[in-house]
Amino acid sequence: MSKPHSPREIDLQPSRLSRLIYAADKTSGSTRQDHGFVFQSGVSNLLGLWVPTGYTDKWDSFDADPANNPSAMPYSFKNVSIKNNVELGSLARQTSITQDFYIYVGFWQGKKLNIKKIYVMKIPAVYWRSLWPSDVTPFLEEQVFYGITNSYSDDQKWKARRIELTKKWHKNLPKGSPMNWHAKRDHKKQMRIQCSIGKKGFQDLFNFTYDQEKTKELEAALD
C-alpha cells in the first residue's frame, strides 16, 4: 500500500504568478479588476472551468454548466492577505451549503496581486456544516439586528448585544472549529453578518480537506 501524500500548498514563483495573472479575463470595470476577481478568473481559465455571468453568483465556477450537468462541482475562490483570516462573506450563505465543493485560497503578501501560495481543498458538505453551531438562527441578521437601527442612539444597545452574541457564538461553536462570526453595522445602511476561517485554524482545515489531484492539475497548468 502506498504511503498517503502529505498536504502541500502550491508555491507561486514569479513565472507561475505571471501565468496566472495573464490567464485572467481582461474585462474592464473596477469590480473585475479586483485582486479577488483576477485570482478567481485566472485559475478558472487555466483549468477550463465554466464561469457564471453574474459576478455575485453563489459560486464562482463549476466543472461544467450546471444547467446541463446538475452534478457539476462548484468552486469558490478566496484571495486574502497572508496575515489575515480567510473571509467567507455571508454567514447565511455559508451555513446553507448542501453540496460538496472545491475552495482555492490564495495568500498575497505586500501587494494584493503578489500571490505567494495557493491552497486547494475539496470540502464535503456534511463536514462543512459540522463546523458551525447546530442552530445559527440567533446569529443571523433578522435576530441579531432586531430592534437595532443605524442611528447613533442605538450604539450602546448594539455594543452590549454584540458582546453577548460573540460569547454565545464561542459557546455554541463545535470544538476545534476555526469559524469566526462578524457582525457589521455602521451609521449609514450597513447591517450584515459575515464569517471567516480563523488564521490559526486554517492549517488544520487544509490538512483535513487537501485535494492532491486538483493541486497537481493546477500546478501543471501553471508550469
Domain boundaries defined on the chain = 10-84+98-129+199-222
| pLDDT beneath 70: ranges in the chain | 1-5, 27-33, 54-57
Buried b (16+ CB within 10 A) or exposed e, 166-187: eeebeeebeeebbbbbbbebee
Chain centroid, CA 180 distance in Å: 12
Q: Is the separation of the CB atoms in 150 and 191 below 8 Å?
A: yes
Q: Is the separation of the CB atoms in 100 and 125 below 8 Å?
A: yes
Give the pTM: 0.91
- Check residue 4 and give its pLDDT: 52
- Check residue 30 and give its pLDDT: 44
Q: What angle do CA 190, 191, 196 make, to 5 degrees?
A: 105
- Check residue 150 and give its pLDDT: 97
* Pairwise CA distance, residues 52 & 211, whole Å: 24
- Check residue 34 and give its pLDDT: 81
